[in-house]
Amino acid sequence: MKFDFEEQMEKLSDEELLKVVTIDRNNYQPDALAAAKSEFEKRKLPAEEIFSITEELNKKKEQEYKKAGEPLDPGLKVLTFLFPMILTFILSGFYKSKGYDRKASQLGNWTMLGFGFYVIIAILMARS
């Protein structure tokens, strides 16, 4: 059974369709991209609308990049280091799902540093 890309592309909004044929074009199979281009041509959107949608898509992409690069707050780094627990891994997953890639990564790193710190303290205390 062959997937009907044409039917799926017809269901997309103008913004979603434009995103498929421009920004996300490398994320789609050639057949899906061809169906998207065909549907885009059928809609015959005015140049002003295409420009407006493209500007909006670029703004969203810029916000995603900015969000992905935001560092973790210093206070949260300290709390994570001092109190490493499973909750911080859950919070890390939350950050990742919301697009805060750097925060998620740093939260995981500081949690592991905290665990390592307490393991070293425990080993030093056991030797005493």
The reply to whether the predicted model has a pTM over 0.85 is no
Give the range of the structural domain holding residue 53, as residue numbers without chain letter: 5-66
CB 107 within 8 A of CB 72: yes
Q: Which of 14, 42, 66 is the last residue of a domain?
A: 66
The two tokens of residue 95 are 């950050």
Give the pLDDT confidence of 31-75 residue by residue, as tens digits. 889 999 999 899 888 989 889 988 998 898 899 999 999 999 999
Note whether 46 and 58 are same-domain residues.
yes
Taking residue 118's Cβ as centre, other Cβ atoms within 10 Å add up to 14
The two tokens of residue 47 are 């140049």
Number of domains into which the chain is organized: 2
Note whether 113 and 77 are same-domain residues.
yes
